[in-house]
Amino acid sequence: MCGIIGFSGCEPAAPILLDGLARMEYRGYDSAGIAVRSEHKGLQIKKAKGRLQNLSDLTHNGADLEGTLGIGHTRWATHGEPNDINAHPHVSENGQIALVHNGIIENYLEIKESLLQKGVRFTSDTDSEVVAQLLEFYYRESGNMLDSVTRVLHRIEGSYAFGIICSDYPNALIAARKDSPLILGYGKNGNFIASDVTAILKYTRDVAYMDDGEVAVITPHTIDVFNSELEPVEKTRSQVDWDVSAAEKGGYEHFMFKEIMEQPEAIRKTISPRIRNGRVVLDDISMTADYVRQISRICIIACGSSYHVGMVSKYNWERLLRRPVEVCLASEFRYSDPLVDDHSLVIVISQSGETLDTMAAMREAKRRGARTLSIVNVVGSSIARESDDVLYTWAGPEIAVATTKAYSTQLVLMDLVGLYLADQLGSICEEEYREILEQMQLLPEKMQEVLKQTSDVQYYASRYFNHSSIFFIGRNLDYAMGMEGSLKLKEISYIHSEAYASGELKHGTISLIEPGTLVVALGTYAPLFDKAMSNVIEVKARGAEVLALTTEAFREKMEKTADATIAVPETHTILQPSLGVVPLQMFSYYMALQRGCDIDKPRNLAKSVTVE
Ligand code: AGP
């Protein structure tokens, strides 16, 4: 959730830290702070509640802080309300040690209690401050910062990525990680730590990924990494090929809109290298046909929108593989004593590759012997590195909290994997296999067509933005797609909304339909279009206002009944959600815009959910 950054180098640290935080603000935006060490002034700490801009204004874009060593933090509050005091960096009682933290220290109360008894005074309500105070306590005893950090790490429980500086160490920044992402960056004029690679991309593409239990000492010219026993560890460095401009707005008002528009290209990049001579080629995975044939259970685990991709895939894979496929919310799976074993294939879907629940669920599945295949967007992320196989979605950096292009690329990649497995199992006929692949390659073009309907969707949003409760209804793939449409709307426009399987309406929900209630009726799933129409008629009979989404082929029929209709081009049935979801994303966007919401940084949310 929170974003941390650190720099030890040969140029002023504060502007670099602020720039990095700005690029990571989607990780949390309750408050922000930086600590910079200088020869003359020691540790200088500046914090500000609210958006990062407040901190930039307070420090004149960092110009007020002198020094080339520093740490920064953008917060998504867990312990203690968002205010200046609870903002990071936290400083030890004698003012010598400053620390930024992403994660949760689970045994902080017990440690706090014991430090209080020793007379230590605390200023904040956070779990993170406990670590700064404990560090000072051990440092007083040993006089060695690295030893003290290691002792602290052995004492605390929970998840963390830390950046630590001490006034006694003019050049050294210490970092540690467990279950929260942390990247080391090797720059020309200094070295970095960061939660996300986007924060440092402007300065370096040369990175290494810290592993759980590792500690690093970063100076302007060196980065030394140790394991929990302080034995040196050799890190493998890799080059990040993300385009810096991809993480910038490039003239758009919001990242979300830019990312919606980038979808055709993102899909092209995700599928093109994996379709050769009319076959799906997944070079990156090591599953043999023999292995695929002996799989007895397929389980998809994910959270939020990634889970919704899993819902679409369940329908599609069961159709293609003729095997049962389960979709589980990662937060439920991990504590459910799951029935997976060494004949189970567990598919893990995550844009960030850092979602804590998803990672924990994946570890649980692996512990029980399951083989894991992850579908991840962020290269080198924890889930990507820990899964047995990984397939990357090539969506590029996604900055808006509400996912769009990552969702779309996950969807097509899951369709590709489904086809690949079906081919291995012989459960799909050659004709359908070819037809799906052909249609898949046409998706970017067709999606461009959908994106041309922006002004229609904008018009409908201007008509409906005052509604306080909206229902999405659909069957089969439309139901799964409706779940995503509804989440998108809630997330950024704060309108209450629910997605229902249309067939369930009459079992309870229809009692909520009254004159004027807005129902978004999804009728893009051709095999059940007539049933979708019946449901539209049912809610209309109770006075609902119906905004329908269908395909060009059914537009005319739908227009006769619905109050407003949006139509997308046809494609193969299993691919239809890839086109259908786009107007739903745009609808949420424009609804939020009309309501004056902070679209890229919706309240209470953060892009990467690295706490439980
Ligand atoms: C979607 O718009 C959300 N921001 C959220 O539901 C997200 O999909 C979820 O938190 C999972 O994230 P992940 O894909 O990075 O694991």
From 301, 312, 355, the mutation candidate for ligand 1 (largest count of ligand atoms within 8 A of CB) is 355
What is the reported pLDDT for 71?
Answer: 98
306 lines ligand 1 (CB under 6 A): yes
Enumerate residue ranges in the chain where pLDDT < 50: none
**Whole-angstrom distance, CA of residue 602 vs CA of residue 606:** 8
**Whole-angstrom distance, CA of residue 172 vs CA of residue 207:** 18
From 1, 256, 352, 374, the mutation candidate for ligand 1 (largest count of ligand atoms within 8 A of CB) is 352
Contacts of 608 (CB under 8 A, 6+ apart): 1, 26, 27, 181, 195, 196, 352, 354, 355
DSSP string, 132-173: HHHHHHHHHHH--HHHHHHHHHHH--EEEEEEEEETT-SS-E
Output the CA 351–ligand 1 centroid distance in Å: 7
611 lines ligand 1 (CB under 6 A): no
Output the CA 82–ligand 1 centroid distance in Å: 23
In angstroms, the Cα distances linking 583 to 325, 400, 452, 493 are 28, 17, 10, 15
Output the CA 301–ligand 1 centroid distance in Å: 12
Other Cβ atoms less than 10 A from the Cβ of 596: the count is: 8
pTM, two decimals, is: 0.89
398 lines ligand 1 (CB under 6 A): no
Output the CA 431–ligand 1 centroid distance in Å: 35
Output the CA 489–ligand 1 centroid distance in Å: 14
**Whole-angstrom distance, CA of residue 360 vs CA of residue 612:** 10
Burial 306-315 (b: 16+ CB within 10 A, else e): bbbbbbbbbb
Best CA proximity match to 279, nearest among 443, 445, 438, 444? 438
**Collapsed DSSP state (helix, strand, coil) of residue 248:** coil
Interval 78-119: pLDDT, tens: 888 888 889 999 999 999 999 999 999 999 999 999 999 999
Beta-strand relationship, 90-91 and 518-523: unpaired
**Whole-angstrom distance, CA of residue 402 vs CA of residue 9:** 35
Burial of 87 (0-12, 13-18, 19+ CB in 10 A): buried
What is the reported pLDDT for 387?
Answer: 97
Say which residue the tokens 């199992």 belong to. Answer: 425
410 lines ligand 1 (CB under 6 A): no
What is the reported pLDDT for 254?
Answer: 96
Instruction: Compute the Cα dihedral for 107, 113, 114, 120 and give only its sign.
Output: positive
352 lines ligand 1 (CB under 6 A): yes
**Whole-angstrom distance, CA of residue 185 vs CA of residue 24:** 15
Alpha carbon 109 to chain centroid, angstroms: 30
Query: Would you say 112 and 181 are in contact if contact means Cβ atoms under 8 Å apart?
Result: no
**Whole-angstrom distance, CA of residue 149 vs CA of residue 159:** 15
Other Cβ atoms less than 10 A from the Cβ of 170: the count is: 15
**Whole-angstrom distance, CA of residue 492 vs CA of residue 485:** 11
Ligand 1: which atom is nearest the Cα of residue 605? 4
**Whole-angstrom distance, CA of residue 268 vs CA of residue 272:** 6
Say which residue the tokens 């500000």 belong to. Answer: 48
**Whole-angstrom distance, CA of residue 337 vs CA of residue 320:** 28
DSSP 44: E
Interval 583-595: pLDDT, tens: 999 999 999 999 9
Query: Would you say 457 and 586 are in contact if contact means Cβ atoms under 8 Å apart?
Result: yes
**Collapsed DSSP state (helix, strand, coil) of residue 105:** strand
**Whole-angstrom distance, CA of residue 308 vs CA of residue 553:** 26
Query: Would you say 576 and 524 are in contact if contact means Cβ atoms under 8 Å apart?
Result: yes
10 is an active site residue = no
Q: List the structure tokens of 386.
A: 């820990």
Give the strand order in the sheet containing 371-376. 325-329, 297-302, 344-350, 371-376, 389-392
**Whole-angstrom distance, CA of residue 136 vs CA of residue 130:** 10
610 lines ligand 1 (CB under 6 A): no
**Whole-angstrom distance, CA of residue 306 vs CA of residue 397:** 16
Ligand 1: which atom is nearest the Cα of residue 355? 16
Rounded to whole angstroms, the maximal C-alpha distance in the chain is 80
607 is an active site residue = yes
From 403, 405, 413, the mutation candidate for ligand 1 (largest count of ligand atoms within 8 A of CB) is 403
Q: Compute and round to an integer the Cα radius of gyration of the chain.
A: 25
Output the CA 410–ligand 1 centroid distance in Å: 12
